[in-house]
């Protein structure tokens, strides 16, 4: 069983039924194993704990952990925690939760901060080799010296400091003697390089900020490129998979790995050995792939944070959010997200995936697995006048039309039913197949009803229908299969449980909500109808659901019992996705 409460044949991401994936990264991995370059594949998923994971991260997670699983390798979860002011332990916990929820587990849990001592020693080594220097330029001056894409940069006046002076200054940076921003340690590479990342990039900066893992131990913090490359090397990562924006950083990544040469300098690893952290020094290879982009969404931690901070959504796990926490609460299943990632595939081609691909993956997963139930979200009373007052019976319904192993359930049936208001029309439009005055419709699994009378209140609003149930059309009777155009769902008014039903829809109304070229921002494109809460009625077997259990409510869509608010006495269901794509052109 998955945590969504439905049988999950696709629970194991590496199960035998998975297709053999053939993307270019897996091709490299196959070749590296075949040639003996690596005997074991090691990957890592390296989130920065500065926000919640979003659906884009699902792609990276499925790739990093998936490859390790498929090829008998190991994947670490590494928190890239080198930016202390934006990071938080709550994010760390949520990220761990998200990765497990998606169906993966890590070989080892690491933090970039576990390696701060190694990074420091590596930096001293670079200084001694003449590969790094302490620079006193301010951030603004550094920018001026860097040049542009068409102009080479200029050497910093501090570039030729001697080794001893550099070592002394760097040690004093580490001792906390200098104020934030007054000095950096920079790699000495090439101020004229066509690749801006190689124009003496900073390796360390001074930042007297407490860190969620190391507290006040460090007044200096390593820069991402330096820390990331060495983190990979320390862990013996064979294939370091990242998104395309890091392609231009690869030469720096390789420079750091080569110049520090952990394998040839085992003493740099001493701080880890002392702490019992196993380590392997191998030479990692960075390979880039394109990000997952989906239209009608925003997908960056920064923008998702803003939506929460500005109160535009009800928190990180608002079911309309594209965070994994939000998608989970909405009723997205791990199997659906893995299916999405498989369908999107891995390449270097940037593209925008249509939102319907995301919804389609969820529909396909839930169609196969979610038990069926009946629920009415806009109730209209229907009284079957030819049944006696206290009439009550139970009907047996199969839980899933295509999966007998899901068994059956009992559905109570009685004289008074709730039906969907939109299943009745006094003046039917053309092609109408549902109930009309004097017309007949099949009550799903119960028989055929004719509408005899429409009761209205003083304002003319319809408050009740009265009808006759054809006794010959009841289950098991000769007329049970009598042809009739429409079938509608219902629940027994006496037995159904009142439920809060939250009808969610896409958060944005336009394909590119964060396209600011029009002078608008995503705030201008919020869908005003993205959340509606109604009171409906569900059959008892739906009310009895556990939180996070998914159902198809017949004819309405796929729903999930809310992870936090649902109880069996006060059911709360979220609409995960409609049965069909109502956004597709022409509908």
What are the residues binding ligand ATP (CB under 6 A)? 46-48, 56-57, 59-60, 242-243, 291-292, 299-301
- Asked if 502 is an active-site residue, the reply is no
Could you tell which of Mg ion, ligand ATP, none binds residue 442, using a CB distance below 5 to 8 A set by kind? none
Rounded Cα gap, residues 502 and 574, in angstroms: 5
Query: What is the closest distance, in whole angstroms, from the C-beta atom of residue 242 to Mg ion in the complex?
Result: 10
- Min separation Cβ 286 and Mg ion, Å: 15
Coil, strand or helix at 480? helix
Q: By C-beta, is 289 or 424 nearer to Mg ion?
A: 289
Instruction: Report which DSSP code applies to 361.
Output: H
**Which of ligand ATP, Mg ion, none has residue 300 at its interface (CB below 5 to 8 Å by kind)?**
ligand ATP
- DSSP string of 426-465, one letter each residue: SSPPTT--SB-TT-EEEETTTEEEEEEEEEE-TTS-EEEE
The full 3-state SS of 173-229, as one line of letters, equals HHCCCCCCCCCEEEECCCCCCCCHHHCCCEEEEECCCCECCCECCCCEEECHHHHHH
**Residues binding Mg ion: what is the number (CB under 5 A)?**
1
DSSP secondary structure of 87-138? --HHHHHHHHHHHHHTT---S-EEEGGGGHHHHHHHHHHHHHTTSEEEE---
Tell me the CB-side half-sphere exposure of residue 182, using CA atoms within 13 A.
Answer: 12
Q: Which of ligand ATP, Mg ion, none has residue 40 at its interface (CB below 5 to 8 Å by kind)?
A: none
| 291 binding partner (options Mg ion, ligand ATP, none; Cβ < 5 to 8 Å by kind) | ligand ATP
Q: What is the DSSP letter of 152?
A: -
- Per annotation, catalytic residue among 48, 70, 464, 500: 48
Least distance CB 292 / Mg ion (angstroms): 15
Task: Tell me if residue 291 is catalytic.
Answer: yes
Q: Decide if 417 contacts 464 (C-beta within 8 A).
A: no
- Pick what 340 binds: Mg ion, ligand ATP, none; C-beta below 5 to 8 Å, kind-dependent: none
Q: What angle do CA 98, 241, 24 make, to 5 degrees?
A: 115
Nearer to Mg ion, 45 or 145 (CB): 45
N-to-C CA span, the chain: 36
- Residue 56 site contact among ligand ATP, Mg ion, none (CB < 5 to 8 Å, cut-off depends on kind): ligand ATP
Q: Which residue is nearest to ligand ATP (CB)?
A: 56
- Catalytic residue list contains 48: yes
Per CB under 5 A, contacts with Mg ion among 530-549 are none
Is the Cβ of residue 293 or residue 487 nearer to ligand ATP in the bound state? 293
47 binds, among Mg ion, ligand ATP, none (CB under 5 to 8 A by kind): ligand ATP
Q: Which one of ligand ATP, Mg ion, none interacts with residue 292, CB within 5 to 8 A by kind?
A: ligand ATP
Q: Which is nearer to Mg ion, 112 or 541 (CB)?
A: 112
Count CA atoms closer than 13 A to 537's CA, side-chain side. 20
Which of positions 31-50 make contact with Mg ion (CB under 5 A)?
A: 48
CA atoms of 235 and 247, how far apart (whole Å): 21
Least Å distance between CB 301 and ligand ATP? 3
The one catalytic residue in 125, 250, 301, 373 is 301
Q: How far is the CB of 291 from ligand ATP (least distance, A)?
A: 4
Whole-number minimum distance, CB 278 to Mg ion, in Å? 27
d(CA 340, CA 345): 9
For ligand ATP, give the closer residue by CB, 352 or 546: 352
Residue 368 CA to residue 2 CA, distance in Å, equals: 14
- CA-to-CA separations, 49 to 35, 208, 301, 354, in angstroms, rounded: 37, 19, 10, 28
Closer of 56 and 371 to ligand ATP (Cβ)? 56
Least distance from Mg ion to the Cβ atom of residue 82, Å: 10
Cα distance between residue 337 and residue 361, in whole Å: 7
**DSSP structure class, residue 518:** G
Taking the least distance from each CB to ligand ATP, the nearer of 161 and 506 is 506
Nearer to ligand ATP, 188 or 338 (CB): 338
Q: Considering the complex, what minimum distance in angstroms separates the CB of residue 355 from ligand ATP?
A: 14
Q: Which of the residues 154, 159, 207, 291 is marked catalytic?
A: 291
Residues 440 and 415 sit within 8 Å (Cβ to Cβ): no
Which positions lie near Mg ion, rule CB under 5 A? 48
Active site residues: 48, 291, 301
């Amino acid at each position: 069983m998955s945590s969504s409460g439905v049988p999950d044949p696709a629970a194991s991401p590496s199960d035998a039924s998975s297709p053999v994936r053939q993307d270019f990264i897996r091709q490299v991995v196959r070749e590296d194993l075949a040639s003996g370059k690596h005997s074991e594949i090691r990957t890592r998923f390296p989130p920065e704990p500065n926000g919640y994971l979003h659906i884009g991260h699902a792609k990276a997670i499925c790739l990093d952990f998936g490859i390790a699983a498929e090829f008998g390798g190991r994947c670490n979860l590494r928190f890239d925690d080198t930016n202390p002011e934006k990071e938080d332990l709550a994010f760390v916990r949520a990220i761990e939760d998200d990765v497990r929820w998606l169906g993966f587990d890590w070989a080892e849990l690491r933090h970039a901060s576990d390696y701060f001592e190694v990074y420091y020693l590596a930096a001293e080594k670079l200084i001694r080799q003449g590969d790094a220097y302490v620079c006193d330029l301010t951030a603004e001056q550094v920018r001026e010296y860097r040049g542009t894409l068409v102009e080479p940069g200029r050497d910093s006046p501090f570039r030729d400091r001697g080794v001893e002076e550099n070592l002394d200054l760097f040690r004093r940076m580490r001792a906390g003697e200098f104020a934030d921003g007054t000095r950096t340690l920079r790699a000495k590479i090439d101020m004229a390089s066509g690749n801006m990342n190689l124009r003496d990039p900073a390796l360390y900066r001074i930042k007297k900020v407490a860190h969620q893992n190391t507290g006040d131990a460090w007044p200096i913090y390593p820069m991402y490129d330096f820390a990331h490359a060495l983190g990979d090397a320390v862990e013996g990562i064979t294939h370091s998979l990242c998104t395309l924006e890091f392609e231009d950083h690869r030469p720096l990544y390789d420079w750091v790995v080569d110049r520090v040469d952990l394998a040839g300098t085992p003493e740099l690893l001493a701080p880890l050995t002392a702490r019992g952290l196993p380590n392997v020094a191998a030479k990692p290879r960075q390979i880039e792939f394109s990000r997952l982009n989906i239209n009608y969404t925003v997908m960056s931690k920064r923008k998702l944070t803003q939506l929460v901070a500005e109160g535009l959504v009800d928190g990180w796990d608002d079911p309309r959010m594209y965070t994994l926490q939000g998608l989970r609460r909405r009723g997205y299943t791990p199997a659906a997200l893995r299916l999405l990632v498989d369908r999107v595939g891995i390449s270097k081609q940037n593209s925008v995936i249509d939102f319907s691909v995301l919804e389609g993956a969820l529909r396909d997963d839930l169609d196969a697995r979610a038990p069926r139930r009946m629920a009415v979200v806009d109730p209209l009373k229907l009284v079957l006048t030819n049944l006696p007052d206290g009439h009550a019976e139970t009907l047996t319904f199969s839980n899933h039309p295509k999966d007998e192993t899901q068994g059956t359930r009992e559905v109570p049936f009685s004289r008074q039913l709730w039906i969907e208001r939109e299943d009745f029309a006094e003046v039917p439009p053309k092609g109408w197949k549902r109930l009309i005055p004097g017309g007949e419709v099949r009550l799903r699994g119960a028989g055929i009803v004719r509408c005899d009378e429409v009761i209205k209140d003083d304002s003319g609003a319809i408050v009740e229908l009265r009808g006759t149930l054809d006794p010959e059309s009841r289950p098991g009777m000769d007329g049970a299969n009598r042809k009739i155009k429409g079938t509608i769902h219902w629940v027994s008014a006496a037995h159904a449980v009142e439920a809060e039903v939250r009808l969610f829809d896409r958060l944005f109304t336009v394909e590119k909500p964060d396209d600011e070229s029009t002078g608008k921002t995503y705030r201008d494109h919020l869908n005003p109808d993205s959340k509606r809460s109604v009171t409906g009625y569900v059959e008892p077997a739906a009310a009895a659901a556990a939180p996070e259990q998914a159902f198809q409510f017949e004819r309405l869509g796929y729903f999930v019992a809310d992870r936090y608010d649902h109880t069996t006495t006060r059911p709360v269901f979220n609409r995960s996705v409609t049965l069909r794509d109502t956004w597709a052109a022409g509908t």
